[in-house]
């Protein structure tokens, strides 16, 4: 009942009530959201935000590759950006809508003989999620290539985005990234191909449902530390520390978010007890735990 007027005002924009958030994140866990909205264009996204901001609690989900969503779900509105996938190139500037996958951005970059984002090829992220988290690997971050970011509130230069390790001004804010412009440089197709092959060869993501690194590598390698305290392969319920890489938690069939949450808690306690290191989460908790 609470959302009837909103759904009417949204008109032809796709919505789903009581939607399982397990469908929108990589662990495949979490409860239902009251309402999920799937805008198809920048105009629709701006209209959605105008209708809900200040009136309903809301949260934006991109690829759901860095989220642990509460089993209790969410009493509010989720904006799914998965249909906002437009990418444009003008000169050396590539502009991508927030829901475009990094993989597609890199493909478009290469097809137009531009270089700069090769390092990000294996990060399973949308542009919005990657910018919000300042995703990165191999000593490089998405912020290195950002020219400006447009949200529902304003357009920000790179400096104004306050990027730092796995952080930006957009994290925990209620601004929605609409699109991002990246600065690239012209390069030969074959050179780009070689760099992509090299970065792909570095990447060995563990098998099974996971949300990437659970903890930040903040001056140490969290996976190495977890391994050293003897937790590789340790489980709580159906959540298991990967035997391939101890900074990854695998959600086995039947896992709940609470299993993952309790496993994270136990890892932190043991690492602190044996190493006096406070591991900090890279994954984001969403909802009530």
Ligand X SMILES: Cc1cc2nc3c(=O)[nH]c(=O)nc-3n(C[C@H](O)[C@H](O)[C@H](O)COP(=O)(O)OP(=O)(O)OC[C@H]3O[C@@H](n4cnc5c(N)ncnc54)[C@H](O)[C@@H]3O)c2cc1C
Token digits of residue 250: 């695998």
Neighbours of 169 (CB within 10 A): 16
Catalytic annotation present for 213: yes
In the complex with ligand X, the residue whose CB is nearer, 135 or 231, is: 135
Distance of CA 86 to the CA centre of its chain: 18
Dist CA 103 CA 67 (whole Å) = 19
User: Of 207 and 265, which CB lies nearer to ligand X in the complex structure?
Assistant: 207
Q: How far is the CB of 69 from ligand X (least distance, A)?
A: 10
Catalytic residue, from 213, 242, 244, 269: name it.
Answer: 213
Q: Closer CB to ligand X, residue 153 or residue 274?
A: 153
CB 110 within 8 A of CB 200: no
- CB-wise, 251 or 272, nearer to ligand X? 251
Q: How far is the CB of 89 from ligand X (least distance, A)?
A: 20
Closest residue by Cα to residue 257 from 214, 226, 223:
214
Q: How far is the CB of 188 from ligand X (least distance, A)?
A: 26
User: Least CB distance from residue 177 to ligand X, whole Å?
Assistant: 3
* b/e code 69-92 from CB counts within 10 Å (16+ = b): bbbebbeebbbbbbebbebebeee
Three-state secondary structure along 53-106? CCCCCEEEECCCCCEEECCCCEEEEEEECCCCCCEEEECCEEEEECCCEHHHHH
Return the closest-CA partner of residue 177 out of 26, 44, 45. 45
Query: Which one, 92 or 137, has the nearer CB to ligand X?
Result: 137
State the nearest-atom distance from the C-beta of 205 to ligand X, in Å.
4
Binding site for ligand X (CB under 6 A): 26, 59-67, 81, 98, 123-126, 128-130, 132-133, 135-137, 170-171, 176-177, 205, 210-212, 284
Task: Give the number of other Cβ atoms within 10 Å of residue 61's Cβ.
Answer: 23
d(CA 120, CA 249): 21
Query: Is 282 annotated as catalytic?
Result: yes
The catalytic site residues sit at 213, 282
């Amino acid at each position: 009942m609470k959302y009837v007027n909103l759904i009417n005002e949204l008109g032809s924009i796709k919505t789903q009530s009581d939607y399982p958030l397990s469908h929108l994140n990589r662990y495949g866990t979490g409860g239902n959201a009251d309402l999920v909205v799937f805008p198809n264009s920048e105009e629709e996204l701006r209209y959605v935000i105008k209708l809900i901001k200040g009136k309903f609690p809301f949260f934006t989900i991109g690829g759901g590759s860095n989220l642990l969503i509460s089993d209790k779900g969410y009493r509010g509105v989720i904006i799914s950006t998965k249909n906002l996938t437009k990418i444009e190139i003008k000169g050396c500037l590539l502009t991508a809508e927030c829901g475009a996958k990094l993989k597609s951005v890199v493909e478009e970059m290469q097809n137009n003989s531009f270089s700069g984002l090769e390092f990000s090829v294996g990060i399973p992220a949308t542009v919005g999620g990657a910018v919000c988290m300042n995703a990165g690997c191999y000593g490089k971050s998405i912020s290195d290539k950002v020219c400006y970011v447009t949200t529902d509130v304003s357009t920000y230069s790179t400096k104004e985005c306050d990027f730092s390790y796995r952080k930006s001004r957009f994290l925990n804010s209620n601004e929605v990234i609409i699109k991002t412009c990246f600065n690239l440089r012209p390069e030969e197709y074959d050179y780009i191909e070689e760099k992509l092959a090299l970065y792909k060869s570095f990447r060995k993501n563990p098998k099974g449902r996971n949300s990437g690194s659970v903890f930040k590598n903040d001056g140490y390698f969290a996976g190495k530390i977890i391994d050293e305290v003897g937790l590789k392969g340790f489980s709580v319920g159906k959540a298991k520390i990967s035997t391939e890489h101890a900074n990854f938690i695998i959600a086995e069939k039947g896992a709940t978010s609470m299993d993952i949450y309790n496993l994270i808690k136990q890892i932190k306690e043991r690492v602190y007890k044996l190493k006096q290191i406070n591991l900090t989460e890279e994954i984001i908790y969403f909802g009530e735990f």
